[in-house]
Amino acid sequence: MAEFNKKIMAWVDYDNQIKSKNNEMKELRSKKDNMEGSIVDYIQENNLQDTVFNISSMDTQLSMNTTSVKETISYKFLENTLLKYYDNDCDKANDVMTFIKNNRTSSDKVSLKRK
């Protein structure tokens, strides 16, 4: 039983450390995102989109990149798209939505959760 208690204490300690590090990461991401916005604005205002910035002191390069991001495929997106596809035939769209929802696979994951 003592070994079990040690494992629980270690698990809680790891969980606390993860929460702390996640909070630090969230703060760093926020600072980085704010800085990125400022840098991108400067690059666009000064027409430097094609410039590669050499940062020799950090042995790296930085350039502006544009990435296309697609909308996530949610049930709402599927429903709207199916309605368009079936020319607003709600019955056909709902049949396909029901089929999709009923055929999703699921699995159970057992884990510990703090209260």
Dist. CA 18–CA 12, nearest whole Å:
10
Predicted pLDDT at 6: 96
* 9 shares its domain with 37: yes
H or E stretch at 63: strand 60-63
* 86 shares its domain with 55: no
Can you give the residue range of the structural domain that contains 35?
A: 2-62
Residue 85: name the closest of 75, 69, 96 by CA.
Answer: 96
**pLDDT tens column, 37-82:** 999 999 999 999 999 999 999 999 999 999 999 999 999 999 999 9
Residue 75: name the closest of 57, 47, 94, 60 by CA.
Answer: 94
In a domain, 19, yes or no: yes
Domain tally, the chain: 2
In a domain, 99, yes or no: yes
**Mean pLDDT, range 83-87, rounded to an integer:** 96
CB 96 within 8 A of CB 82: yes
pTM: 0.71
